[in-house]
């Protein structure tokens, strides 16, 4: 039916003018499909956020919580989610910050994104980073400093 991921995305884009509801469903399906490439999934989530921000949450969570997706794409999905529904971004940020396979700076960025909305909710993220011996000393120190500010 479709030659590849890009074709599916193109078809969904074409639906936006004629049938926005069907387009939103198609974009959500692409964004949540683990067999689709990372960048295409993120692009589908971005378009979904423009079309129907309330529907973008589950798509962004699916990307941000998928350990097989590249670190930066996961963070971008969490940032997108924070833009449309800041409170719903917490599980995405926690998933990234708590994932030891994610790069130190991306983990730190996810915790900072969470702290921007709710500093206390970022506590588990800061703790996960500060207590992970595999994380670089400077990043661990930064996380520990943030922990002290929320619970002196």
Per-residue pLDDT for the chain (152 aa), expressed as one digit of tens each?
A: 445 878 889 888 888 888 999 999 999 999 999 999 999 999 999 999 999 998 899 999 999 999 999 999 999 999 999 998 888 899 999 999 999 999 999 999 999 999 998 888 899 999 999 999 999 999 999 999 999 888 65
**Which pLDDT does position 1 carry in this prediction?**
45
* Residue 98 CB coordination number (10 Å): 17
Asked if 40 contacts 5 with a C-beta cutoff of 8 angstroms, the reply is yes
**Which pLDDT does position 3 carry in this prediction?**
58
In 3D space, the residue among 120, 40, 35, 26 whose CA is nearest the CA of residue 76 turns out to be: 40
The model carries a pTM of 0.91
Give the pair of three-digit tokens for residue 34: 């683990």
């Amino acid at each position: 039916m479709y030659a590849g991921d890009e074709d599916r995305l193109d078809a969904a884009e074409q639906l936006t003018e004629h049938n926005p509801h069907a387009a939103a469903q198609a974009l959500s399906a692409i964004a949540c499909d683990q067999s689709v490439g990372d960048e295409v999934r993120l692009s589908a989530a971005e378009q979904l956020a423009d079309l129907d921000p309330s529907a973008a949450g589950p798509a962004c969570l699916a990307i941000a919580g998928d350990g097989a997706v590249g670190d930066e794409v996961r963070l971008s999905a969490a940032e997108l989610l924070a833009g449309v529904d800041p409170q719903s971004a917490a599980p995405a940020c926690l998933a990234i910050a708590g994932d030891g396979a994610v790069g130190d700076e991306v983990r730190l960025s996810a915790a900072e994104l969470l702290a921007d909305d709710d500093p206390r909710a970022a506590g588990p993220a800061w703790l996960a980073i500060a207590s992970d011996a595999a994380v670089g000393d400077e990043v661990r120190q930064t996380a520990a400093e943030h922990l002290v500010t929320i619970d002196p």
